[in-house]
Homo-oligomer: A and B are copies of this chain.
Amino acid sequence: MAGKRVAFFGAKGTFTHLAALQFCNENKDLQLVNENFIRISEADKILDENKADYCVVPAENSTGGMVNDTFDLLIGSKLKVLNEIRLPIIQNLLSKESDIGMIKSVYAHPQSLAQCRDFLNANLPNAELIDASSNAVGAKIAAERKNGAAAIGAKILSDVYDLNIIRENINDSSGNETRFFVVGKKSSAKCAKHSIILFALQNRAGALYEILKIFNNYNCNMTQISSRPSRVKNWDYLFVVEFDTLSDSEKNQSMLNEIENKCVYYNCAGMY
Residues on A lying within 8 angstroms of B by beta carbon are 38-39, 41, 61-66, 68, 110, 114, 131-134, 137, 175, 204-206, 208-209, 212-213, 215-216, 219-222, 224-229, 231, 233
Contacts and interface: CB of A to CB of B under 8 A. Distances in A.
Contacts of A228: 65
A212 to B, nearest CB: 4
The 8 closest A-B pairs by CB, nearest first: A131-B133, A209-B216, A205-B221, A209-B212, A65-B68, A206-B216, A226-B226, A63-B229
A173 to B, nearest CB: 9
Contacts of A216: 205-206, 209
Given A133-B133, A225-B225, 13 more contacts: A38-B131, A41-B114, A66-B68, A110-B133, A205-B215, A205-B219, A205-B221, A206-B216, A208-B222, A209-B209, A209-B216, A225-B226, A226-B226
15 contacts: A39-B114, A61-B229, A65-B229, A131-B133, A132-B133, A205-B216, A206-B216, A206-B219, A208-B212, A208-B225, A209-B213, A224-B227, A225-B225, A225-B226, A225-B227
Identical copies of this chain, number: 2
